[in-house]
Amino acid sequence: MAEMKMQPASQILSSANKAFSPQGREKISPGDKESDFMNGPALFIDDKKVSQKQAEGSKSAFYISAGHDANHMHYKEISGGDTLDEDYGKLRGIYAIAGYRGANYIKQIEARLFVEGYFKRYDALITYDGAAGGQPFTCEQKAVVQRFGVKLGAYRTFSERTELLYYLDIGQRIWYRGENEIIQGVLCYAERYRWVYFGLGGGINYNLLAKLSVGLDIEGMAAVDSKMRADLYEGGTFVLKGVGGWEFKLPIKYHFLKHISFDLTPYSTWWNITRSDPVLISGTYYYEPDSHTHIEGLLVGLTCSF
């Protein structure tokens, strides 16, 4: 929430699940059991199949994932060691992923390439706990969060059971905070937080069983073109500084059919914002204070490869 100079404006109020396809190996010995991240049960192969697989490489695979996103978001604005206001509550929504995993092994990077697009949206009425007119004020207000982008990366199988991957992520996050409305006799105003981010991430996936895999994915993100628009009086736009974040995911996949898996992905996302420069609105200077956001959630859905 934007702040007055020396006084918070909050007192006025304000994928991835990643599908995995069977991949060719640099070296496969006769009789080895071949790991199959996408299609479930491991296969036994003979000399002829080994030679053919080494020559042709792995099959390419398209995949799509979709499902439900349930999470709890906690946003806090701070000044020094004091909390100015908070937004917190449970949100629900959807996510969708579409990707392609290439088959050709690239010697220069000792891996194969993949590309993946993703989208997620969740919303709900959540609690605002802050101040209005210099007095404590609590209400329920609308929150809508959207996030979408594209990942370009590489993956490599290191053993029968283990696959490593790394990627560059380019995306955008938008948070619609509140609405222009009157709540409990207080005139509230809407805010929109928006930024483009660049992420660098990596992960590991491990086949516990023929049909069951678990993984770990970690991504660091840094934002550019970070802004917050506040509909306070005639409105103002704040340039946000030092926006960055982290995301941790634990993808779990169970292949109940050859080309379809049931996915569970617990995740945690963190964002930090550094105080903005003052903006003049209706003759008074306001600023956006330091803030922290953390979101803990669970993705539940299906992945289909073809």
User: What is d(CA 194, CA 94) in angstroms, rounded to the nearest whole number?
Assistant: 19
User: What is d(CA 252, CA 207) in angstroms, rounded to the nearest whole number?
Assistant: 10
> Who's near 116: CB < 8 A, 6+ residues apart?
15, 16, 18, 97, 98, 99, 100, 150, 151, 153, 167
Confidence class for position 296, pLDDT limits 50, 70, 90: very high
Residue 113, number of CB atoms within 10 A of its CB = 17
Residue 65, number of CB atoms within 10 A of its CB = 26
Q: Residue 216: give its domain's CATH number.
A: 2.40.128.100
**Domain hosting residue 157, numbered range:** 3-305
Q: Which two tokens stand for residue 275?
A: 């105080």
Report whether 81 contacts 124 (CB < 8 A). Answer: no
Residue 213's pLDDT is 97
Report whether 237 contacts 229 (CB < 8 A). Answer: yes
- Mean model confidence pLDDT for the chain: 85
**Phi, psi of 151, rounded to the nearest 5 degrees:** -115, 135
The DSSP result for 250-285, as a single string, is --EEEEEETTEEEEEEEEEEEEEEEPPPPEEETTEE
Report whether 72 contacts 296 (CB < 8 A). Answer: yes
Residue 159's pLDDT is 87
Sign of CA dihedral 146, 224, 128, 184: negative
Share of the chain above pLDDT 70, in %: 80
Domain count across the chain:
1
Longest CA–CA separation in the chain, Å: 80
| E-only strand ranges, 81-161 | 82-101, 112-132, 135-157
Tens digit of pLDDT for each residue in 96-147? 999 999 999 999 999 999 999 999 999 999 999 999 888 999 999 999 999 9
Tens digit of pLDDT for each residue in 166-196? 999 999 999 999 999 999 989 889 999 999 9
Numbers of helices and strands, H then E, in the chain? 1, 19
Residue 80's pLDDT is 87
Of 294, 244, 273, the residue nearest 2 (C-alpha): 273
